[in-house]
Amino acid sequence: MWDYSETVKEHFYNPKNAGAVGDANAVGDVGSISCGDALRLTLKVEPETEIILDAGFQTFGCGSAIASSSALTEMVKGKTLDQALEISNQDIADFLDGLPPEKMHCSVMGREALQAAVANYRGEVWEDDHEEGALICKCFAIDDVMIRDTIRANNLSTVEEVTNYTKAGGGCSSCHEGIENILTEELAARGESFTPNAVGKKEGVVRLNPKKEEAAPAAAKLNPVQRILKIQQVLEGLRPALQADGGDVELMDIEGKNIYVKLVGACNGCQMAAMTLVGVQQKLIEELGEFVKVIPHTERPVEIAGA
Amino acid sequence: MADIYLDNNATTMCDPEVVQELMPFFSEQFGNPSSLHNFGNKVGFAIKKARQSVQNILGAEHDSEIIFTSCGSESDSTAILSALKAQPERKEIITTVVEHPAVLNLCEFLETEGYTVHKLKVDGKGNLDLDEYASLLTDNVAVVSVMWANNETGTIFPVLEMAEMADSKGIMFHTDAVQAVGKIPMNLADSKIHMLSISGHKLHAPKGVGVLYLRRGVRFRPLLRGGHQERGRRAGTENTTGIVGLGKACELAMEHMEYENTEVAKLRDRLQEGILAAVPHSFVTGNPDNRLPNTVNIAFEYIEGEAILLLMNKQGIAASSGSACTSGSLEPSHVMRAMGIPYTAAHGTVRFSLSRYNTPEEIERVIEAVPPIVAQLRKLSPYWGENGPVENPEEAFAPVYA
């Protein structure tokens, strides 16, 4: 279920100004029955002062649509038309102590009803410039139409750019597949193809608040002799534990990142040998501060062994 | 007063007997069923018993035809993707416009991968056209996936006949039966159904367990590869508590099958009759003559479903709606749109789905509660006048943007 604020619930359960105002002189009809919300706002405006004396709503819609309508009528009463027009959809949402992202369009519908009613009063034609698409980014409530318009207007070609221009995808990042699909279509429409690494920009999760990742402290660069000594020292340190199990390890050769060892005694041929090697390798990587591979001497390529 | 739960097609209460049966498998019976020792051995036997109980409710020929999965969606995905993988030369899928998203969204994704998906249309009552179906059964089709019963309306599809038709053309047939199992008696051994999906939590088992029935001999490619569990057909350590619970739930469902089809159906009929008699401009969607015994879907015209649900919830009554708002999408239920239900009604559909736990007293309370809620919301609606819908509602109120 939706996480509605107490104020939303209050305005839904006990809506204010429900029904049409009897002697209204301004009417605004907005919404879309296919989307499931539609609103008729009726106002009684005092002609001399343009003060809104009374407001009423009739709404076909969900809980937040009815609450937004109720809030709107409360907010506009007593204001002049010009003052009322300054109310933004965010103001309506704030009045209700917030709306879930999927429900922000209810506050947009409220603001549009107001514009339509004022236009109706003034004998103007109200042009709706709002088009609603499927919600893509739930973190920032950005829809499909907004993303497409922005891509077209700014010739965007990566998810990162879309995030920078619209915020879509900048939160949890789970809508990136959806954004990539939109980019694929939009780029195809302008004769390009979407490649995740277009224009050399780094794709992937965009972090709004990048956490500083502690880089592993770079091990002081060892010269070849120091490196060999260090490897031997690490292996020596491991031998007592292996010997306790009746085994042993011996350094045979070093070839770049490949360290060849001889497992002797109980370790040799035992099914635990592979695990022992992994443990030895892990220890060496930690101590040397570089990636190395520990390989049984028996698996050494012949030509190298003979070299 | 206790709350009333009429949303059993969404999920059901885990039966107390099921809970009792599965609890030991959280504690003393914690072993891995694959293990040889006593800890695992007993768990292995419990799973075997559960498998037989699922076999019984489906009327399957062999217990090895039962593959435990994590949910209905996994079973659906496994079945459809297996059919495609096993028959790479076949690039078409047949399904319906009213399937669950578990199948529809997968099919839509597969379309982007180059597959052709044929979605069978439905008429105003949600029935399929079998002639259209027959005309699509060609050698290009890898799999047919048709639900046994629709989750929103309860409408039952002729899957036995459709499976015969597919089988006679050598085409694999899968059915998503998550709403039907436990409510409709089944004998898969005598059918031509090749694959079938079950979801545990729809029949009083816990969430997180499902089944794919896979008829012996049907070519199969696993979705999850890895361990040898489920005979290598579904890797991953068994969800022992879920499986044991599902086994018990199937046993109980067998016992209650008749009750479900007589007593529960009576309660449902009473609810429908009571509401329709008290609420003008409301009607039943789907096919009332051929539907699940526990489901009724009623459209309340000129008001919106989420608002209805919120007001019902305030009185402790739980149901669900096909409105756009309840799902967070822009369109009302695809099932309602497919049946051609107008927007002014589709957004106001409410599904009541009962279970064997509902009582006649509860149903009477709902019949009393619903009419004032509808009246209250209609008072707010721009499509509603003093005592009824405004004349030509769609013209009298035609908002600016569409």
Report CA Rg, chain A. 34
**B298: containing domain:** 4-8+256-389
Are B289 and B232 members of one domain? no
Which residues is A248 bridged to in the sheet? A264
Distance CA B110, CA A134 (A): 21
pLDDT at res. B330? 62
Of B190, B218, B253, the residue that ends a domain is B253
Residue B398 lies in a domain: no
B325 an active-site residue?
yes
Pairing state of beta strands B210-214 and B66-69?
antiparallel
Are B238 and B262 members of one domain? no
In the predicted model, is pLDDT for residue B281 greater than 90?
Answer: yes
Are B248 and B260 members of one domain? no
Are B276 and B302 members of one domain? yes
Q: Is A307 exposed, middle or buried (0-12, 13-18, 19+ CB in 10 A)?
A: exposed
pLDDT at res. B87? 97
One-letter amino acid for residue B325 of the chain: C
Sign of CA dihedral B83, B85, B89, B91: positive
Are B171 and B46 members of one domain? yes
Q: Do B382 and A60 touch (CB under 8 A)?
A: yes
Are B160 and B207 members of one domain? yes
Distance CA A32, CA A38 (A): 5
Distance CA B64, CA B163 (A): 21
Are B46 and B172 members of one domain? yes
- pLDDT tens digits for B286-321? 999 999 999 999 999 999 999 999 999 999 999 999
Are B89 and B233 members of one domain? yes
Select from A39, A62, A102, A138 the residue whose CB has the most chain B CBs within 10 Å, as the one to mutate to test that interface.
Answer: A62
**Topology (CATH) of A224-306:** GMP Synthetase; Chain A, domain 3 (3.30.300)
Are B383 and B249 members of one domain? no
Please give the full DSSP string across B328-348, using - where no structure is assigned: TSSS--HHHHHTT--HHHHTT
Distance CA A205, CA A190 (A): 26
Q: Which residue has 């990142």 as its token pair?
A: A257
Burial A262-284 (b: 16+ CB within 10 A, else e): ebeeebeeeeeeeebbeebbeeb
Domain borders along chain A are 6-121, 135-200, 224-306
Are B193 and B65 members of one domain? yes
Mean pLDDT, residues A50-72 taken together: 95
Distance CA A217, CA A21 (A): 72
Mean pLDDT, residues B86-113 taken together: 97
Q: B-chain residues within 8 Å CB-CB of A116? A: 400
Distance of residue A176 Cα from the nearest chain B Cα, in angstroms: 16
Are B233 and B93 members of one domain? yes
Does A36 lie at the interface with B, CB-CB under 8 angstroms? yes
Residue of B310, B324, B399 with shortest CB distance to A30: B399
Residues in B 312-331 with any Cβ partner in A closer than 8 A: 314, 323-326, 328-331
Torsion of CA A138, A144, A147, A150, to 10 degrees: -140
Distance CA B157, CA A228 (A): 75
Residues in B 333-372 with any Cβ partner in A closer than 8 A: 343-344, 347
In the predicted model, is pLDDT for residue B182 greater than 60?
Answer: yes
pLDDT at res. B358? 98
Residue of B331, B380, B382 with shortest CB distance to A15: B380
Q: Do B325 and A59 touch (CB under 8 A)?
A: no
From residue B351, alpha-carbon distances to A37, B84, B322, B368 in Å are: 20, 34, 8, 17
- Cα B62 to chain centroid distance, Å, stands at 25
Residue of B304, B329, B331 with shortest CB distance to A62: B304
Does A65 lie at the interface with B, CB-CB under 8 angstroms? yes
Q: Do A61 and B398 touch (CB under 8 A)?
A: no
pLDDT at res. B251? 98
Residue B399 lies in a domain: no
Q: Do A135 and B328 touch (CB under 8 A)?
A: yes
Of B253, B274, B303, the residue that ends a domain is B253
Torsion of CA B261, B267, B273, B278, to 10 degrees: -160
Q: Do B381 and A29 touch (CB under 8 A)?
A: no
Number of folded domains that form chain B:
2
Does A34 lie at the interface with B, CB-CB under 8 angstroms? yes
CATH architecture of A135-200: Orthogonal Bundle (1.10)
Distance of residue A268 Cα from the nearest chain B Cα, in angstroms: 28
CB pairs under 8 A between A and B: 103
Residue B139 lies in a domain: yes
pLDDT at res. A213? 43
- pLDDT tens digits for A184-241? 999 999 999 988 864 444 444 444 444 444 444 445 678 888 888 888 888 888 888 7
Q: Do A29 and B398 touch (CB under 8 A)?
A: yes
Q: Is A301 exposed, middle or buried (0-12, 13-18, 19+ CB in 10 A)?
A: exposed
CATH code where residue B343 lies: 3.90.1150.10
Does B303 lie at the interface with A, CB-CB under 8 angstroms? yes
Q: Cβ contacts of residue A139 below 8 Å, gap of 6+?
A: A101, A170, A171, A172, A175
Sign of CA dihedral A18, A23, A28, A34: positive
Q: Do B380 and A135 touch (CB under 8 A)?
A: no
Q: B-chain residues within 8 Å CB-CB of A32? A: 399, 401-402
Q: Do B399 and A58 touch (CB under 8 A)?
A: no
pLDDT classification of B372: cutoffs 50, 70, 90 = very high
Distance CA A65, CA A70 (A): 9
Residue B332 lies in a domain: yes
- pLDDT tens digits for A1-17? 678 999 999 999 999 99
Distance CA A192, CA A189 (A): 7
Residue B47 lies in a domain: yes
Are B233 and B290 members of one domain? no
Q: CATH class for domain A6-121?
A: alpha beta
Distance CA B333, CA B22 (A): 36
Residue B129's φ and ψ, nearest 5 degrees, are -105, 105
Of B195, B221, B253, the residue that ends a domain is B253
- ipTM over 0.90 threshold: no
CATH code where residue B140 lies: 3.40.640.10
